[in-house]
Structure formats: C-alpha cells, structure tokens
Amino acid sequence: MEKKKKETKSFILRIDPEKMEALEKWAADEFRSVNGQILYLIDQALQKEKRLKKK
C-alpha cells in the first residue's frame, strides 16, 4: 500500500525578536520545534474559524 506524501510550501516569516523569543519558549514548553508550534497555532486558528475541513 502506497502512502500519500504531504507537500509543504516554504515561506519567509519576518518576526520581531521579542515575539520570536516568546514563541521559542512556548514551543520548548510544549516539546515542539518553533516550526511545529507555528503550524499547530495556524491549525488551531483555522479550525476555530471553521476554515479547515475536519480530518
């Protein structure tokens, strides 16, 4: 059985140092990478606003 690969798109994010530091700490507190934390937050926001189909 062949697994479907998820494609991801890359983009540059400009963020001020204070927010980046807070995001790094938050990610570490939840045992995630910063990228993983950002994806988690985006996913939660999209689900809350019903803009993402439920899996």
Whether 3 is covered by a domain: the verdict is no
Whether 27 is covered by a domain: the verdict is yes
Whether 29 is covered by a domain: the verdict is yes
CA distance 9 to 32: 19
- Structural contact between residues 26 and 37, judged by C-beta atoms closer than 8 angstroms: yes
Please give the pLDDT value at position 1.
60
CA distance 4 to 50: 25
Please give the pLDDT value at position 2.
66
Considering Cα of 6, then 48, then 50, then 25, what sign does the dihedral take?
Answer: negative
**Domains identified in the chain, total number:** 1
Whether 11 is covered by a domain: the verdict is no
Q: Which domain holds residue 43?
A: 17-48
Whether 54 is covered by a domain: the verdict is no
pLDDT along the chain (55 residues), means of 10: 79 97 98 97 94 77
Would you state the structure tokens that stand for residue 46, as one six-digit string?
A: 């999209």
> What's 4's DSSP letter?
P
Please give the pLDDT value at position 53.
78
Please give the pLDDT value at position 20.
98
